[in-house]
Amino acid sequence: MPEPKRLVAGNWKMNLLRAEGIALARAVAAEARGAHRCDLLVCPPFTLLAAVADALGDSGVALGGQDCHAAPAGAYTGCVSAEMLKDAGCGHAIVGHSERRHACGESDGDVRAKTLAAWRAGLVAIVCVGETRAEREAGRAIDIVSAQLAGSVPGEATAANLVVAYEPVWAIGTGLTPTNEDIVEIHAAIRGCIPAGARILYGGSVNPKNAAEILALAEVGGALVGGASLKAQDFWAIAQACG
């Protein structure tokens, strides 16, 4: 089986208003029409999905949501279903991002239900896992991530419907990254827990300076990029770092 292309995904989080989001999407789409060696995905806030879908046009850059509710529809004020993401043009949904696990109290069970919802709607689920600093310092990183995967990834996972994003909580938005050895070790452990061929992304302070080194590591199938995805130039530099 040929190696899947690396996936470089931008998580815009709760950033950008309409004009800025459209400008960023247009800039990424323009670059993506040129030569590149990876798959590209942007995950804007819900309010921008339709406008960004339009701006991306036929560039080949995929669209994703940053979260979804487990139910297809109903009395869930403020929530967005996987079916709504699909209807807005998404092919992917991020689920279980650490900012939701920690700030919104999402459990592995919640993330599992959201993963199933994403699949029900025909989306690829990007399931995020990662340890805190205290857990890493206690030598428990692999145990924590393995337990998160066991609790969050349903048995129906395949290489086509699942992407795992390993994002150490302490590396997100901090400028800190694990050592290459630590990334390789934990990606290898994740590989043992998921279907063969499913991509494993590294996330946490990926930037144009460190991207080539991280993306060259064994088992690193791409990057989930937060802050650096908000600047087209930086996001593109990371995409170009895929060898």
Q: Out of 24, 172, 232, 241, name the contact with ligand PGA by CB under 6 A.
A: 172
Q: What value does the CA radius of gyration of the chain take, rounded to a whole number of Å?
A: 17
Q: Out of 205, 211, 214, 232, name the contact with ligand PGA by CB under 6 A.
A: 205
97 is known as an active-site residue? yes
Using the rule CB under 6 A, give the single segment among 19-27, 113-121, 131-139, 222-230 that binds ligand PGA.
222-230
Residue 87 and residue 102: Cα distance in Å, rounded?
A: 28
102 is known as an active-site residue? no
How big is the CA angle at 111 (ends 7 and 158), to the nearest 5 degrees?
Answer: 50
**How many amino acids of this chain bind ligand PGA (CB under 6 A)?**
13
Q: Which is nearer to ligand PGA, 208 or 226 (CB)?
A: 226
Residue 144 and residue 29: Cα distance in Å, rounded?
A: 37
Residue 78 and residue 37: Cα distance in Å, rounded?
A: 38
Report, in Å, the least distance between residue 73 CB and ligand PGA: 28
Contacts to ligand PGA from residues 35-64, by CB under 6 A: none
Q: Out of 63, 206, 220, 241, name the contact with ligand PGA by CB under 6 A.
A: 206
Report, in Å, the least distance between residue 12 CB and ligand PGA: 10
Using the rule CB under 6 A, give the single segment among 70-78, 149-157, 178-186, 224-232 that binds ligand PGA.
224-232
User: Residues 141-170: x/- map of binding to ligand PGA (CB under 6 A)?
Assistant: --------------------------x---
Q: Which is nearer to ligand PGA, 99 or 110 (CB)?
A: 99
- Sorted by sequence, the CB contacts under 8 Å of residue 231 that are 6+ apart come out as 24
204 scored as a contact of ligand PGA (CB under 6 A): yes
Q: Which is nearer to ligand PGA, 9 or 141 (CB)?
A: 9
Residue that the structure tokens 């908000």 belong to: 230
Residue 33 and residue 28: Cα distance in Å, rounded?
A: 9
Which residues pair with residue 41 across a beta bridge?
A: 9, 62
* 169: DSSP letter: G
Q: Are 58 and 25 in contact (CB under 8 A)?
A: no
User: What separation in angstroms does the CA of 197 have from each of 5, 65, 156, 220, 243?
Assistant: 11, 23, 14, 12, 18
Q: Which is nearer to ligand PGA, 134 or 176 (CB)?
A: 176
Instruction: Determine the straight-line distance between the first and last CA of the chain, rounded to whole angstroms.
Output: 19
Site for ligand PGA, rule CB under 6 A? 11, 167, 172-173, 203-206, 224-228
Which sequence positions are flagged as catalytic?
97, 167
